[in-house]
Amino acid sequence: MAFNSFGKLLKVTTYGESHGTAIGGVIDGFPAGLKIDLEAIQNELNRRKPGQSKIVTQRKEPDTVEFLSGIFEEKTTGTSIGFIIRNTNQKSKDYNHNTNVYRPSHADYTYDKKFGGRDYRGGGRSSARETANWVVAGALAKQLIASMEINAFTSSVGDIFIDKPYQDLDFSKTENNIVRCPDESSADKMIAKIQEIRKAGDTIGGTITCVAQNIPVGLGEPIFNKLHAELGKAMLSINAVKGFEFGSGFCGAKMKGSEHNDIFNADGSTESNLSGGIQGGISNGMDIYFRVAFKPVATIMTNQQTINSDYEVREITGKGRHDPCVVPRAVPIVEAMTALVLADFWLLNKTRKI
Amino acid sequence: MAFNSFGKLLKVTTYGESHGTAIGGVIDGFPAGLKIDLEAIQNELNRRKPGQSKIVTQRKEPDTVEFLSGIFEEKTTGTSIGFIIRNTNQKSKDYNHNTNVYRPSHADYTYDKKFGGRDYRGGGRSSARETANWVVAGALAKQLIASMEINAFTSSVGDIFIDKPYQDLDFSKTENNIVRCPDESSADKMIAKIQEIRKAGDTIGGTITCVAQNIPVGLGEPIFNKLHAELGKAMLSINAVKGFEFGSGFCGAKMKGSEHNDIFNADGSTESNLSGGIQGGISNGMDIYFRVAFKPVATIMTNQQTINSDYEVREITGKGRHDPCVVPRAVPIVEAMTALVLADFWLLNKTRKI
Amino acid sequence: MAFNSFGKLLKVTTYGESHGTAIGGVIDGFPAGLKIDLEAIQNELNRRKPGQSKIVTQRKEPDTVEFLSGIFEEKTTGTSIGFIIRNTNQKSKDYNHNTNVYRPSHADYTYDKKFGGRDYRGGGRSSARETANWVVAGALAKQLIASMEINAFTSSVGDIFIDKPYQDLDFSKTENNIVRCPDESSADKMIAKIQEIRKAGDTIGGTITCVAQNIPVGLGEPIFNKLHAELGKAMLSINAVKGFEFGSGFCGAKMKGSEHNDIFNADGSTESNLSGGIQGGISNGMDIYFRVAFKPVATIMTNQQTINSDYEVREITGKGRHDPCVVPRAVPIVEAMTALVLADFWLLNKTRKI
Amino acid sequence: MAFNSFGKLLKVTTYGESHGTAIGGVIDGFPAGLKIDLEAIQNELNRRKPGQSKIVTQRKEPDTVEFLSGIFEEKTTGTSIGFIIRNTNQKSKDYNHNTNVYRPSHADYTYDKKFGGRDYRGGGRSSARETANWVVAGALAKQLIASMEINAFTSSVGDIFIDKPYQDLDFSKTENNIVRCPDESSADKMIAKIQEIRKAGDTIGGTITCVAQNIPVGLGEPIFNKLHAELGKAMLSINAVKGFEFGSGFCGAKMKGSEHNDIFNADGSTESNLSGGIQGGISNGMDIYFRVAFKPVATIMTNQQTINSDYEVREITGKGRHDPCVVPRAVPIVEAMTALVLADFWLLNKTRKI
C-alpha cells in the first residue's frame, strides 16, 4: 500500500518522528552506475535546515545524512539506498505542556482520533522534519536527470507578490537572499514582512513558483499518472500546502478557447504556453511551471483557546522554535519533489515504446 | 505500475479509446455483500452523457454500462467487477482530416512523440470519454459509503461566479438546471454565457466546487497519501483541469496564522473551517470542500494555425460535436472521483488500528 | 492492492466468473509500437480451450477473444489493452444441485466463509476458466520477447514419467499428441492412463516441466522479485498446483556443495546447470527449467460424502463436463505465465542501469 | 515497483549490504495500538545470528536491532517503523581475493552483468545477511497475529529425513538442539552429518517444514494473491531455496482424485488434509503445512575452477567463515516470512466484506 512511499519506478519510502531517534528512508529502483556527488546532497539539506537565517526557526540541527547502502566506490549499485538523519537537537520538554492538548489547525486531533494515540513531541510524524528525507531523495533524483533544470522560488509572502513573469527573473539570484526570491526588491519587502510578523508572534502564508526547463517531450502517462497530477500530489503532500495550479491555472478557468490555445510554431514548440508545458498529461518540451500555496504556520506565539483529549477547554500558547513563514525553507522541498516526479517518469519512459 | 489504475484497496483499472469498440474497466477490492442499485449507476452515467442539453455536445450516445462479473444475485461477491460501455456513435470520419495534424492544446503532439504513433480518432485514449468509466466506479463507491454526502456543482463559468458561500446553497437544486449550478440567478447567467460562446464557435472555462459532508474523522494517511493530496491527484486527472485548492486554498497563502487557525469548539468541531475539513492530511469531521479549475475546451470552430507530423504549417477548424464548456458534464465526474478517494480511505481505515 | 492483477511494469488485471456473462481483462504497460499477430493469440487460446480432445472436458466453448482497445492499425499504442471473452456454453443448471453444498477439495467452503456468499455456478471466480485470460496476456507477452523460447510439456501423469532429461527431447513434437508430451512412448502411456481414469469416473494428477531458452543475462531482481520467486508465484497461482521446483529442486536439498556448484566455462556459461539458469534471483543466460506439480481434479463422478452450508451431511456426485487430468490443457497456461514473468523483467531491465 | 519490498498492507522495505555500514528497513502499514515486546524480537534475531553453535558459521556478530520510529511508549503508533542493524564484524579483506573473480553458483556473475558492477565484499546485497531484516519484520508480525502458531523445523539434512508425520512431533523440542529438529534421534544424525561435511570443507543441503496452526478461515485472495502462492514466493525469496510444496505437494501429482479429496466432517473440518489447509487459495482452518528445499551453500573450502570478469580461468578456494548447512539458521527465517504473509492477509481480511 505504501502509506510512506512516493514514486513508481524510483520509489522513496520514509520513516521518522521529529523527536524520535532518527528519520530516514530507502530509495528503491535507482539505476546502477551513476556517480553520486554526496556533497551536493548535503548542500540541498543545508538549504532546508533550520537555523539558517533570521527569518526561519532558530532551532539548530545539522541534518547530516549518512548513506548506509546502495552506493559503493561512489557509484550507485542498483540495490536499495538506505539513509539516515539522526535527530540531535530535540527539546521534547518544549512539548510537555501539549501532551494532552490539541493545537489548533495542527494534526494533533486527527492523529489522535485516527490512531487512538500519538507521539505528541513536536508533531511526531506530522512534523515537516520528514521533508528532510524528501530532500535527500530529490537531490539524488536531480543527479539522475542532471540535464533538466528545476528552479523554485518564493513568489509571494502574504500580499507581497513578484509582479513579473518568471521569464524576466534570473534564477541564479534566488539564493542571494534569505527569502529565496530572485527579484531583489520583492525579496526585501518579503523579508521585512516576515520579520514584522515574527515580532508580533504571528505567522504568514505565501506561494512558491517552480519552473522546470529543458524537459524532454513525453514525460507523464495519459490517464491516472498524468505529469501534472503527480506533480500536484507531490506538492499537496508538503506540509501546509492548500493549493496547486499549473500553466494558466485558476486564471485559465475564466478564459475562452480562442485565447487559451497554444498555437504551434513550425518546430513543434508553441507561441504561448498556457498549457504549462504539459498537454494531455504529457510534457511537450515547453517550460513546465506551477504555483503552490502555503497557509501560515499554525503555531503562533499568542494565546489561543483549544481543547484537550478529554474535551475540556484549555488555553495554549506556542512554545519552542518555529518558522514565522515556511516558504523560504520549502523552496528546496518543492524542487526535490519535482525532481522525484520527473526522474520517475524519465526512467519509466525507457519502457514505453519498443 | 498501473498507468491506468486509480485507488489503493479499492482500485479501478480502465481501458478504452473514444472511437474504439468499447471502454470499460475492472474494479478490484470491492467488499463482498453490498446490495447494488444498478439503476443508480446508470443515472450517474446519464448525468455525464453527451447530448443531454443544449449547452453540451450534441453527440448522442446512450452510455449503457454492462456489468460482467463480481455482482451475483444483486450483491457484490468480493471478486473483481468487470464492466463495459460499448461505443455506439463514433463518427470517426469527423477526424479523417486530423490524421496527421496536431490540434492546438490537445494531446495529439505529446502522444505522438511519446508513443511514436497514436489513435487519432477523437483523441483516442486522451478523450474525456474515459471519464464515463470513472463515473461507473464512483457510483459504486458512493453506494459503499452511502452515509457520506458528496455534492459538486458549477461554481463559475468564465467570469460569472456564484457570489455566496456554499453554506447558503441548496444542493438539491443543482440538477434543476442544465449548467448544474444550485444558485438559480447565477445559473441563468452561466447558461446564457455558454450559449453566446457556442454561437461564436468558441469555448469557455469554469470551476467546480465540491463539498463532502458527514465525513468520519480519520480518513487519509499522514505522509504520501494525505486525503487532500489524493483528492488533488484525482481532480488533476480529469481532462482540462488546471488547478486544485481546498479549504482556504490560494487565499490562505495571503493570511496570518492568527486569522487562519480554526479554533476548537468543546465537541471537537471547529468554529471556522479554513482547514477545509482536513488537518495533517486526515479528515477532522468538518465539511471537506475544494475547488477545481477547468480550462476552456481546446476544440473551437474557428480557424487556427497548426502543424502536422511532418512539421508543415496547416490550418485547422474544429469539426465534430464538442462541448462549448466542459463544466456541466464534469460535475458528476468530480463527485465520482471524490467518492472513489473517500471510499478507498474508508476501507483502508479498517486496518489502521488494532 | 491488486488482488486480480499480475505483473509489475507489464500488468494484467482480470475479471470473470465461469458462468457469468464474460471473462476478460486489461493489460497495462505494454510498450507502444509492436505489431501484433492476433491469430497467434487465438491459437494459444485454442490450445487451452475445452473440448479439444478425448482426454479433456467435452464442454464446447470457442473462447474467442475480442480486443477492445490499445491496438490500432495492428500495432500496440502504449495505452491499456482491454479484452473480453464471452461465455457461451454455460450449463448453469448442472450446478443447481450444488447451490448449497460444498464440493470436497474445491473452493466452495472457503469462498463462502471468506465472503459470506459465493457464485456457486461452476466455481464462479475459482474456476480455471480464468486462466483463459492469462493465456491472452501471455500470448501478447510472448510476442514482446519473441527471441526467447518457452517450451512447457507434460512430464508426468500419475506415476508415468518421461525418463529422459529435457535436453534429449524435441519440443517440436509436444503438440503432436493430445497429452502434450514430446516423448512419444510416454505420451501413449499417459493417454491410456487418463482414459482408464476417466472411465472409472476418477481423476489423476501430473507434472509439467517448462524450459525457457535463449534468455538474456540479468533478468530478475535481487531481493523480493527474484526471477524464480516470481515464476514460483506465477505457477502456484494456477489452479490445482501444489508445488514448484527449479534447477536441482528438491533433489538439490540432498546434495553437497562440491557436487552442486556449476563450474564456469571460459565464456561465462556453466558446465552443469543445477542452478536452473538463475543465480541470486537473476538469470545467468543458461536454460531456465522448472517443474510444476498438479493435484488431481477434485470433481469426480463417484459418490462422496460432504456437508452443506447448514453443516448437514450430504452425498454428492460430480455432474457436468470435467477434465480427468488438467495437465494437457495447463501446458499453454504454464507457458503464458512464464512469458508474462520474463517479459515483465525484460521491460524492467531497461531501467536498471544508466 | 518495490524491488526491495514485501507485503501488501503490511509492507517491509529493506536495504543493506553484508559489508556495508548497516542493514535495515521500514515496516509500513502496521496498525496502531499494539504493545510491542522488543525482547521477543531480539530473541528471534538471536536464533538467526551467526556464531550460535558449532554447526554454523563462526562469524560473531551481535545483530542488535535499533528501532528508530513508529513505536512510542512501547506501542505502535500507526506510522512507519524504521529499524537498523549495524554491521560490526565485517572482515572485508576476506573478500579481497574475490574482487574480480566470480564464485561458482553465487550471484557474483549475474549481479555484475545485470548492474555493470557489484559490491564484491561478502556478496553485497545478495548475502543472506539481508534476512536479518526479515526476521525483525516477521517478529513484529508474529505479535500482531499472536493467536496463530507458526512452527518451522529442520526436516532433512542431506539424505537424513525425519521419518514421522509432523503430527507426531513436539514442536517445543525444536530449540532443544542446534540443528532445530524436534525429533531427537534424527537431530543427532543431522548434527553428525553437518560436522562431517564441515570437516571435509564441503557443504550440504536440506529441507525445512513449516506448520501454521490455529489459522482463521478465509486468509488469502482468489486469483493472484492465493495464500499458498504468496507463501511460495516468500520462501523462494530466501537465499538458497530451490523448491516449495504445500499439502500433498509433488506426491499429490501422482494421486487420484478419489484418494486426494479431503472429505468434510460435520463441523466443516476435513478428515484428511492433503489440501494443506488451503483450498482455492484461501485458508480453510485446517493446519497449513509446507516444505522448502535448500541447496547446499555454494562457498566450499576446496579448490574450484572459475573465471574472472575478464573471462580468464582462475582457481578459487573459499575463505572467510561460512555455514556448512544453512538450514538450522533458516528456520527462524521461514517462520518470519510465514508470519509476514499471514499477518498481511489477516489485516487485509478486515476489508473484504461489508
Q: Using one digit for the tens of pLDDT, what is the confidence trace for B235-289?
A: 999 999 999 999 999 999 999 999 999 999 999 999 999 999 999 999 999 999 9
Q: Which of C104, C344, C128 is nearest to C241 (CA)?
A: C128
**What is the spatial distance between Cα D38 and Cα D143, in angstroms, rounded to a whole number?**
10
Q: Which residues of A touch C354 (CB under 8 A)?
A: 31-34, 144
Give residue B93's pLDDT: 61
Please judge whether B34 and D354 are an interchain contact, meaning their C-beta atoms are less than 8 angstroms apart: yes
Q: Which residues of B touch D347 (CB under 8 A)?
A: 351
Q: What is the pLDDT of residues A47-57, one digit of tens each?
A: 999 989 999 98
Q: What is the pLDDT of residues C278-290, one digit of tens each?
A: 999 999 999 999 9
Cross-strand bridge partners of residue D243:
C245, D293
Nearest beta carbon to residue C34 from set A32, A78, A354? A354
Nearest beta carbon to residue C33 from set B5, B29, B116? B116
Give residue A347's pLDDT: 97
Give residue C264's pLDDT: 97
Please judge whether B354 and D33 are an interchain contact, meaning their C-beta atoms are less than 8 angstroms apart: yes
Give residue B249's pLDDT: 98
Q: Which residues of D touch B347 (CB under 8 A)?
A: 351
Q: In chain A, how long is the greatest CA-to-CA distance? A: 68
Handedness of CA B171, B174, B180, B183 (dihedral sign): negative
Please judge whether B33 and D353 are an interchain contact, meaning their C-beta atoms are less than 8 angstroms apart: yes
Q: What is the pLDDT of residues C51-79, one digit of tens each?
A: 899 999 888 888 999 999 999 999 999 99
Give residue A319's pLDDT: 75
Q: What is the mean pLDDT of residues D313-322?
A: 84
Give residue C28's pLDDT: 97
Residue A94 distance to chain D (closest CA, Å)? 18
Residue A121 assigned to a binding site: no
Q: Which of B349, D350, D28 is nearest to A114 (CA)?
A: B349
Nearest beta carbon to residue D81 from set A15, A28, A117? A15
The proportion of chain D whose per-residue pLDDT surpasses 70, expressed as a percent, equals 97
Q: Which residues of C touch A144 (CB under 8 A)?
A: 354
Please judge whether D223 and C4 are an interchain contact, meaning their C-beta atoms are less than 8 angstroms apart: yes
Q: Which string of DSSP letters, residue by residue, matches C45-112?
A: HHHH-TTSSTTS--------EEE-SSEETTEE-SS-EEEEEE-----GGGGGGGTTBPPTTSSHHHHH
Nearest beta carbon to residue D237 from set C6, C125, C229? C229
Q: What is the mean pLDDT of residues C295-300?
A: 95
Give residue D92's pLDDT: 57
Interface partners of chain C (CB pairs < 8 Å, 3 or more) are: A, B, D
Nearest beta carbon to residue D351 from set B34, B222, B351? B351
Give residue A317's pLDDT: 84
**What is the spatial distance between Cα A160 and Cα A43, in angstroms, rounded to a whole number?**
28
Q: How many CA atoms lie within 13 A of C185 on its CB side?
A: 3
Give residue D97's pLDDT: 59
Nearest beta carbon to residue C352 from set D114, D159, D294? D114
Give residue C290's pLDDT: 98
Q: What is the pLDDT of residues C4-14, one digit of tens each?
A: 999 999 999 99
CATH number of B252's domain: 3.60.150.10
Q: What is the mean pLDDT of residues D325-338?
A: 98
pLDDT band for position A60 (50/70/90)?
confident
Q: Which three-class secondary structure state does DSSP give residue A253? A: coil
Give the best residue of D133, D244, D270, D340 to mutate against chain C (max C CB count within 10 A): D244
Please give the tally of structural domains in chain D. Answer: 1
Per-residue pLDDT at C92 exceeds 60: no
Q: Which residues of B touch A257 (CB under 8 A)?
A: 105, 202-204, 296-300
Q: What is the pLDDT of residues B169-209, one digit of tens each?
A: 999 999 999 999 999 999 999 999 999 999 999 999 999 99
Please judge whether B354 and D29 are an interchain contact, meaning their C-beta atoms are less than 8 angstroms apart: no
Q: What is the mean pLDDT of residues B132-160?
A: 98
Write the ipTM: 0.97
Give the best residue of A159, A193, A261, A311 to mutate against chain B (max B CB count within 10 A): A261
Give the best residue of D64, D65, D71, D77 to mutate against chain A (max A CB count within 10 A): D77
Please judge whether C105 and D228 are an interchain contact, meaning their C-beta atoms are less than 8 angstroms apart: no
Per-residue pLDDT at B47 exceeds 80: yes
Residue B225 distance to chain C (closest CA, Å)? 14
Residue A69 distance to chain D (closest CA, Å)? 5
Annotated binding residues of B for NADP(+): 48, 54
Amino acid letter, D180: R
Per-residue pLDDT at D74 exceeds 70: yes
Give the best residue of A75, A147, A282, A354 to mutate against chain C (max C CB count within 10 A): A354
Residue C103 assigned to a binding site: no
Nearest beta carbon to residue C354 from set A1, A31, A222? A31
Nearest beta carbon to residue D78 from set B1, B34, B352? B352
Cα nearest neighbour of D311 on chain C:
C266
Question: Are the C-beta atoms of C123 and C23 separated by less than 8 Å?
Answer: no
Give residue C183's pLDDT: 98
pLDDT band for position C84 (50/70/90)?
very high
Q: What is the pLDDT of residues D51-65, one digit of tens each?
A: 899 999 888 888 999
Give residue C59's pLDDT: 85
Q: What is the pLDDT of residues A82-122, one digit of tens each?
A: 999 999 866 656 556 567 899 999 999 999 999 999 888 87
Cα nearest neighbour of C205 on chain D:
D253
Q: What is the mean pLDDT of residues C270-278?
A: 98
Question: Grid coordinates representing C223?
Answer: 531481493
Residues of C with CB under 8 A from a CB of A: 1, 9, 29, 31-34, 78-80, 144, 222-223, 347-348, 350-354
Nearest beta carbon to residue B242 from set A223, A248, A349? A248
Please judge whether B305 and A268 are an interchain contact, meaning their C-beta atoms are less than 8 angstroms apart: no
Residue D19 distance to chain C (closest CA, Å)? 16
Residue C286 distance to chain B (closest CA, Å)? 29
pLDDT band for position B305 (50/70/90)?
very high
Give residue D153's pLDDT: 98
Give residue D144's pLDDT: 98
Q: Which residues of A touch D29 (CB under 8 A)?
A: 1, 3
Residue C59 assigned to a binding site: no
Please judge whether C354 and A9 are an interchain contact, meaning their C-beta atoms are less than 8 angstroms apart: no
Question: Are the C-beta atoms of D292 and D336 separated by less than 8 Å?
Answer: no
Please judge whether C250 and D242 are an interchain contact, meaning their C-beta atoms are less than 8 angstroms apart: yes
Nearest beta carbon to residue D31 from set B34, B222, B351? B351
User: Mean pLDDT over all residues of chain D?
Assistant: 94
The proportion of chain C whose per-residue pLDDT surpasses 70, expressed as a percent, equals 97
Q: Which residues of D touch C322 (CB under 8 A)?
A: none
**What is the spatial distance between Cα A18 and Cα D155, in angstroms, rounded to a whole number?**
47
Name, of B85-99, C255-269, D86-100, the range with top average pLDDT.
C255-269
The proportion of chain D whose per-residue pLDDT surpasses 90, expressed as a percent, equals 88
Residue C9 distance to chain A (closest CA, Å)? 8
Per-residue pLDDT at C22 exceeds 90: yes
The total number of residues written for chain B in this structure: 354
Give residue A266's pLDDT: 94
Cα nearest neighbour of B86 on chain C:
C68
Q: Which residues of C touch B119 (CB under 8 A)?
A: 72, 77, 79
Query: What is the rounded (10 degree) CA torsion for B236, B240, B246, B250?
Result: 110
Give the best residue of A4, A114, A325 to mutate against chain B (max B CB count within 10 A): A114
User: Mean pLDDT over all residues of chain A?
Assistant: 94
Query: What is the rounded (10 degree) CA torsion for A215, A217, A223, A228?
Result: 20
Q: Which residues of C touch D294 (CB under 8 A)?
A: 253
Please judge whether B243 and A242 are an interchain contact, meaning their C-beta atoms are less than 8 angstroms apart: no
Q: Which of C11, D270, A176 is nearest to B11 (CA)?
A: C11
Question: Grid coordinates representing D77?
Answer: 503508533
B16 conformational bin, left if phi > 0, alpha if psi -120 to 50, beta if neither? left
Give residue D98's pLDDT: 64
Residue-range definition of the domain harbouring residue B335? 5-351
Strands, E assignment, D233-347: 241-246, 278-279, 282-283, 288-294, 304-307, 313-316
Please judge whether D33 and B222 are an interchain contact, meaning their C-beta atoms are less than 8 angstroms apart: no
Amino acid letter, D352: R
